[in-house]
Amino acid sequence: MRQEALASFKRRGMVCRSRGVALALTIGLLVVSVVPVQAQTGAIGGTVVAGKTLRPLAGAQVVLMGTKRGTLTDSNGRFLIPGVAGTTARLQVVMIGYKTETLTVPVGKLDIEVSMQVAAVALNRIVVTGQPGGARAKSIGNSVDVVDAATVASTQPVNNVQDMLDARAPAVSIMRGTGMVGAGSRIRIRGITSFSLSGNPLIYVDGIRVDNESNSGISIQAFGSAVVSRLNDFDPAQIESIQVLKGAAATTLFGTEAARGVINIITKKGAPGATTYNFTIKQGANWFSNPEGRMPTNYWRDPSGNMVALSFADLQKLYGRNIFRTGGLQTYDANVSGGSEVLRYFVAGDLTQNQGAEPNNFKNQFSGRVNLDIQPSSKIHITTSAGYVNSRTELSCEAGCGGAMWDATYSTPAHLPQYECAATGNAYGCGFQLGFRSWTPEAERAMLDYQMVHRFTGSVNLEWKPFKWMTHRLVVGTDLTEEKNPEHLPYLTNDTLIYFWGPYYSKGYTWENLTTHVYRTFDYAGTVDFDVNPHVNSSTSFGLQYYTKHMEFLQAEGDQFSAPGLSTINATATQVGVHGDYEDNFTLGMYGQEQVALNDRLFLTAAVRVDNNSAFGSDFQWVVYPKASLSWVLNEEPAVRRRMPDWIDAFKLRMAYGESGQQPQAFSALRTYEPVTGSQDRPAITPQAVGNPNLGPERVKEIEAGFDAGLFNDRVGAEFTYFHNRTVDGILLRPVPPSSGFPGSQYVNAGEITGHGIEVTVHGSVLNLKNFGWDLAFNVSTNHTKVTKLYGNDTTIVTGSTQYKLGYPANAWFRERAVSATYDPTTGRATNIMCDDGNGGTTPCYGPNGEVLAPRVYMGNTQPTTTGGITSTFMIFSRLQLNTVVDFSLGNRKWDNNLRVRCQIFLTCLENMNPEQYDPALIAGIQSNDILNQWIINDASFAKLREVSLRYTMPASFAQKIGAKRASITIAGRNLHTWSKWTGLDPENMFLGGPTFLEQDNLPQLMQFVTTINVSF
């Protein structure tokens, strides 16, 4: 190199003759010889982001092709490879769930941005299955839905975990109770598979079971529409992904209780690299949209016979201020992450204050999390996860959880001041009701119903790999929840409030329920994995699991405070009493599984699990659950690939059979007694529960089959699943015969329920232009159930207005149906009423003495038969992203109790004022004294514009001006429009405290707008 440089100098006529020139030449030669070396070595660095959202991707593998050198991206998506030779280099970026990217970059460039596109079919994604380390999606014979929670939380207006699941996982139904802030929802996966037991899926967080109660809180003891779900304690901003396993075919290894499905929550972890600081601020508002156009107008005839109407607008004008408010929403979230190859960390904190449309409805919550990843050697990997939640949720549960909704929905002109005072002869206190049904909103809101929660969820996951072919995993953890559920009315000094509450209750009272739930998990699993030969791999897994649940509660009440400002039970004049109890439940299970892989494309799996649970009767010691599955990646078979159309890029065929169970409630098998005070104040006992020593678990047997496909150059992904399940020994809560001497009900194995349906997901890139992209995702699922067997001589199990009847959907609507009648203007009554006889004809509804003659006939499903969602994402100039989500629910009917109460009890509908103008069969139903109620069981199908968000990612140059690496701003709305024929206020709202699917004085789902600013340093 030096000779070439010297020759070059000579050609230019530069001859060194003096000592000074020789020195200069020597320096020049050294410079020339060094510069080429510097040009040959340098660093390469940049950021790896998700192509559509520009979200940094942590843990992506960046490899320098042609060498063994590489690195992983840190928590901010950054990577750096130093000491790269040459002027250009080839990089390969790999991440599970995304297409592999290969690119040529100049050496020395440190601001490379690698945009990774989501793979249409992520066959190498790791999913949780119960065995150590999970399994690759390509090897699993059942469907598993994965929600990219980190992306959803950063781009969409989601308030809780249930919002994240909505419309993003087929066959997962979110059944909302009320629009009050902090209220929970039921989650149902693949419909109803039980007579009486809970349909809640199991919830796992970082490998341990946690409290999955969906309707906790004091309001469950009132009217049941406003309840708190424990699932929503977890902060969406701290979750990386959510995996949903549906049905027994997927959940065999999770054992008893897993028949309703499993939801696995995986929280965020740190990644190797520099420390990253991330801050998020949300500011927004919640409100009851268009109450004037949605709340009913009520009618009344004054003493002179004139009809008087009272609309919501009139009621609010008379009230003198807004009945409902616009509530504020603010969230402050911060997290720190980073680390090295040995130790990685993620530390987060979140503070949320969310106000509802009722002035005393709010949720304030703080949540914190510390996750550590420790890998001292290639053989040992320790993961710790610790989360804490402190929250207070005020549910505004007065008047049956209706609050002001009760008094506004059922308002009456009879309570307008001019009529109320005339009716009472202008006595003291008249005119206070202002048209409201019972009390004014101030009187309703004097009482407080709220829930305070302290919750700790912690786990340690130890993975030991002593040999390349052997892995051991031990998970130990606990989930501790302390609930305080007070109902409190202070000592009242306001004369108006005293008028409504009366002299006794106006002195106040307090009622408290203290509940503690402790879940503990001890889970060991091992796997032996080795190649039998170059074409056959064997993976043998075995596990032992022990789960405990402990619940204890204490409740007490005190009435009448001695003075204002007091709040404790000891400060009341009368203590009603203290009651406490506890219960424990234990599950011990073990399993073995064998998976054989042929050429890493055909996977055959067989497994068996045995369980014992403390709630089983004495005749059921161990229950066996088998499993078998097949997964075949056809596009990797050479013979099949040659015959496969070019537009099919990937195709996996899958099939699975499995069994799982649902345990009875604690003490269900035991005959119990409770202490009482006997004669002469002596201690005694009395029968409490009859028990059932023959009680066994429900068993769900399920088969599913389907395929996953990547199409059109991996631009479209499609998933299809057909499932058929059968519940054997379904458990029913049946009333105990009085002759037994025991009160209450008894759990029995009552019969069988079958269900079947399909699940379809299609997602892909519709347009992918230089400055515009459009991605579309669609999912739909169907579910049809049928009662196929009832033990004994029963053909029907009646549960109020719903029935489990042979040959019909589970828990379906059955009522007498009036089909014709004659209106008699002289009496104002419907006469000659004929009903459906259930065989295509008619029969008189009543006998000569008023007895009901008509049979109850099938009127529809209580559960939706079809659900789904449509998600659309538009990318404009790579920085601007528009997201929309529409979800829908079809095929179910619901009980409109608002209509029933207004028209049949309070008589404030137009039908009551002018019955001659309506169908006589309808009038017959209204006048039937709660018998001919088919007119209030109405279609609750709907489609809802659930989410719209507009997100702008700032250019790097702008973010750098404020010292940040990345910044974005999002403007989003939620619950923006509903399409439905439902006769009530909101087709989603329903009673959550029992089996009846009805809406009554529930606040509709609130419209919400929120602005989010996110900055990373």
Give one DSSP letter per residue of 367-423, joined into a string: EEEEEEEEEEETTEEEEEEEEEEEEEEEE--HHHHTTHHHHHHT--GGGSHHHHHHH
Contact 910, 308 (CB under 8 A): no
Question: Which residues, in sequence order, are CB contacts of 219 under 8 Å at separation 6+?
Answer: 225, 226, 227, 395, 397, 401, 449, 993
Over range 103-119, report the average pLDDT: 85
Residue 41 has pLDDT above 80, yes or no: no
Residues 511 and 564 sit within 8 Å (Cβ to Cβ): no
Q: Which residue has the higher pLDDT, 362 or 1?
A: 362
Question: Is the pLDDT score of 658 beyond 90?
Answer: yes
Give the pLDDT confidence score for residue 667 in this predicted structure: 66
Of 371-375, 539-543, 582-586, 742-746, the range with the lowest mean pLDDT is 742-746
Summarize the confidence of residues 194-200 as an average pLDDT.
85
Where is pLDDT greater, at 809 or 191?
Answer: 809
Residue appearing with tokens 């340690």: 460
- For range 315-335, the mean pLDDT: 95
Instruction: Say if residue 453's pLDDT is above 90.
Output: yes
Does the pLDDT of residue 596 top 70, yes or no?
yes
Which pLDDT does position 495 carry in this prediction?
A: 85
pTM attached to this predicted model: 0.87
pLDDT > 60? residue 88: yes
Residue 429's pLDDT band (cuts 50, 70, 90):
low
User: Residue 633's pLDDT is what?
Assistant: 95
CB 71 within 8 A of CB 60: no
DSSP-derived 3-state class of residue 594? strand
Neighbours of 958 (CB within 10 A): 11
Residue 976 has pLDDT above 80, yes or no: yes
Least confident span in 300-309, 560-569, 990-999: 990-999
Give 681-719 pLDDT, tens digit per residue: 677 676 667 777 878 788 899 999 999 999 998 889 999
Question: HSE-up of 663 (CA within 13 Å, CB side)?
Answer: 28
In this predicted structure, what is the pLDDT of residue 500?
87
- Across the chain, mean pLDDT equals 87
pLDDT of 893-931, one tens digit each? 999 999 999 999 999 999 999 999 999 999 999 999 999
How much is the average pLDDT of 445-450? 86
- Using pLDDT thresholds of 50, 70 and 90, give the confidence band for residue 887: very high
For 988-1010, how does the pLDDT look when each residue is reduced to its tens digit (9 = 90+)? 988 776 556 889 888 999 999 99
pLDDT at 26 over 50: no
Band (765; pLDDT cuts 50, 70, 90): confident
Strand partners, 555: 513, 579
Token pair belonging to 389: 């939640």
Q: Which of 54-68, 194-208, 214-228, 465-479 has the highest average model confidence (pLDDT)?
A: 465-479
Give the whole-angstrom CA distance, residue 233 versus residue 606.
Answer: 36
pLDDT of residue 124 exceeding 90: no
pLDDT greater than 80 at residue 548: yes
Task: Quick: pLDDT tens for 476-505.
Answer: 999 999 999 888 899 999 888 888 888 888
Tokens 């009805």, located at residue: 998
Closest CA to 615 of 662, 653, 554, 680: 662
pLDDT at 13: 41
Q: Give residue 33's pLDDT.
A: 37
Helix (H, G, I), strand (E, B) or coil at 50: strand
> What per-residue confidence (pLDDT) applies to 993?
61
Buried b / exposed e along 387-396 (16+ C-beta atoms within 10 A)? bbbebebbbb
The closest alpha carbon to 986, from 284, 354, 316, 288, belongs to 288
Confidence of residue 35 (pLDDT cuts 50, 70, 90): very low
**Which pLDDT band holds residue 115 (cuts at 50, 70, 90)?**
confident
pLDDT reported for residue 21: 36
Nearest partner of 671 among 736, 587, 612, 584, judged by Cα: 736
Mean pLDDT of 585-603: 94
Share of the chain above pLDDT 70, in %: 90
- SS3 for 551? strand
pLDDT for 163 equals 93
Question: Between the CA of residue 818 and those of 838, 898, 911, 1013, what are the distances in Å?
Answer: 12, 20, 16, 57
Q: Which residues of 298-318 are buried (b: 16+ CB within 10 A; e: fewer)?
A: bbbeeeeeeebebebebbbee
Look at residue 408 in the predicted model and tell me its pLDDT. Answer: 94
